[in-house]
Structure 1
Amino acid sequence: MALCLHPDDDYEEVAKKLAGVLALVPGAHWQAPTGGAINQARQQLGSEPVKEVFQQVPRPAATESTPGAWLHGRRVMAIDGFVVELPDTEANAAEFGRDSAGGYETVFPQARVVAISECASHAIVAANVAGCWAGEQTLAFSLYQRLTEEMLLTADRGFYSFPAWNEARRSGAHLLCAAHVPRSSVG
């Protein structure tokens, strides 16, 4: 969480800032951990506690007066997917894979992310991460339960399906989805 507050700093610099604050506590004798110690602790922690915190913390950030945040009383949200490159480790390659759809294998392992975010603030309120071969609709399906009645969810045509629509509507949210309409043949 501290890394989010200091996005331009690395682990050790953020730890030193935290240790500096702790040093102000009377009787405290605390030293910042090394980068290696932080990395080791993150590996021991695993991903489940991070996922649990993410499930509880994210929420929309826009207020009533934030420009573009609302449309006819509905908070404007969007769902979309993207791919991120990961550090080139055997564990990442095994867990997430390397994309080879373009006829060549990518240099780095890649993860596919599907997220629901608030359009005005760009705050991500729900996300799923999986290997690069995971489908966006599959990753999106469980995110729909995080919608609320005050939301208007916008989505491109890649997310539209009747099961997805029904799941999202169960939340009470309103939906605005692009749909593919086949061209009619001109005689």
Structure 2
Amino acid sequence: MMLPSSDFFMDFQQDLLDLSNLFNFSDVSSFTQNIPIEWVESALRLSASATIRRRRLPSDQVLWLVLGMAMFRNEPVHEVARRLNVCAQGLASDNLLARSGVTNARKRLGSEPVEWLFRQTGTHWGHERYPEDEWNGLRVMAVDGALFRTQDTPELREHFGSGNTSSKRQTPFPMLRLVALMNVRSHIMIDAQISPYRRGEIPLAESFLSSIPDNSVTLFDKGFWSANLMLTLTQQDVDRHWMIPERKGLVHEVIKTYSDGDELIQMKVSPQARKKNPDLPETWQVRRVTYQIKSGTKSVMTSLPVERFSAAQVSELYKERWEIELGFRDIKSAMQNNAITLRSKKTDLVYQELWGLLLCYNIIRREASMAAVSFDRVPSEIRFKPVCDYIAVQLIVMAAANPISGTGRRLSELRSGIGSLFLERRPRPTTPRTVKISKTRYPVDRYAAPLK
């Protein structure tokens, strides 16, 4: 989002500070259970460049800067640092930071502490219980993938790759792949994997199957169809189920018909899958539910047993898979202002930026969920963008009120005003899908002059 002018912020900060009896910015007790300072300290110990030098940008402030980058996408990084006042006490806090100093500070921090802190939030917050967060006794999860673009530099194109095909057509930007596991009811990202474009979604999803809780059902997009993935999910732990749309042209045999549109089918496991995992059976059986939609019929495959869950329940539940799509929309639209090209130009900083984006998303979602609960509402009833905008302004207020506060302290001061946002149940608007950038048959020359 584009930040308003400095004069606007001075006036707006004063207005908010005058309302301190309503928005208690100095109360640190309300948020300490969210980001314990111990988490921050543990994350920073992972930084590869430990130092005793008194730097202008200490590591805990750089971590705060990475979160600020996620909130203020249209601002240059050094300007975000200045607005959030992340300099150490007494170290040129009134002067502009050199751009190279900000970049070097980010390099010293690296991506690993930010990734670790994101996983901590997913582990602890993603399994929290909220009102109406279960479906017939099961937690509802979703897995899906998204693509992000990077700056077009030789280093990033070499590492992340692009959408090349056999005809040497390629995307104008290097691409990286994100696959995430979301709690559908709270929208918290429980786990995620980031990789270069060429790595497939299924191997990435297989890496975090252990993060899926017992007594749950996980909703997949059809691109995740894999006997190994589905069978591994159901064989691990207790009462874990899945649901996925039927693939076009799937060869199967009907074993049993439960009712109209509700069948048990049998399929062969491919030789490639059995070569990868010799423990897989030669055939496997799944339940297929077919139901009416506006454009005709739709079939979903599931491990949910017919004795416990009707076909109507199954078909209604799969509609919630779109909640993870809304989560990706919130990240790309509300937080990134539709700027899907990440700003970093070094490989490790690209990972740092995207992990910081996911971490910041979880913080906002957790705050929205807690605010909703305080009003006896469910997390889905508070809209993401107003909360995101509120926190963005509050960061500026906190920087002015307490400029030397570290990451742990600042994160402890975010929630107080969110609960006062007006909660209103509204139908979700429908928006057209984004048109993908077309590939070109010619090699990409990043130095070519733009067409006029």
| TM-score normalised by length of structure 1 | 0.76
In the aligned structure 2, how far is the partner of 1:157 from the partner of 1:114? 14
Is the counterpart of residue 15 in structure 1 residue 76 in structure 2? no
8 Å contact kept, 2:140–2:184: yes
C-alpha displacement of 1:126: 1.0
Instruction: Give the number of aligned pairs.
Output: 177
| Corresponding position of 2:444 | none
Deviation by residue 1:120-177 (Cα, 9 ceiling, x = unmatched): 3433221111111111111111111111114321012321323212332314433223
8 Å contact kept, 1:61–1:121: no
In the aligned structure 1, how far is the partner of 2:223 from the partner of 2:137? 26
| Corresponding position of 1:60 | 126
Greater helix proportion: 2
User: Structure 1 residues 182, 145: closer, same or farther in 2, change over 3 A?
Assistant: same
| Corresponding position of 1:100 | 164
C-alpha displacement of 1:36: 2.7
- Secondary structure at 2:162's aligned position in 1? coil
Is the counterpart of residue 84 in structure 1 residue 148 in structure 2? yes
Is the counterpart of residue 146 in structure 1 residue 214 in structure 2? no
Q: Which runs of 5+ in 1 are unaligned?
A: none
8 Å contact kept, 1:149–1:174: no
8 Å contact kept, 2:69–2:80: no
In the aligned structure 2, how far is the partner of 1:105 from the partner of 1:38? 33
Greater strand proportion: 1
Is the counterpart of residue 119 in structure 1 residue 180 in structure 2? no
| Corresponding position of 2:250 | 182
1:159 to 210, 215, 224: 224
Is the counterpart of residue 109 in structure 1 residue 174 in structure 2? yes
In the aligned structure 2, how far is the partner of 1:76 from the partner of 1:41? 40
In the aligned structure 2, how far is the partner of 1:62 from the partner of 1:7? 29
8 Å contact kept, 1:77–1:119: yes
| Corresponding position of 2:106 | 42
**Superposed counterparts of 1:21-40, under 5 Å:** 28-30=89-91, 31=93, 33-40=97-104
Deviation by residue 1:33-68 (Cα, 9 ceiling, x = unmatched): 4433222222343333332222222232875236xx
| TM-score normalised by length of structure 2 | 0.35
8 Å contact kept, 1:145–1:167: no
Aligned AA for 2:90? Answer: H
Q: Which runs of 5+ in 2 are unaligned?
A: 1-63, 253-452
Following TM superposition, where does structure 1 have runs of at least 4 consecutive aligned residues deviating by more than 3 angstroms? 4-10, 32-35
* Bigger radius of gyration among the two: 2
- Secondary structure at 1:39's aligned position in 2? helix
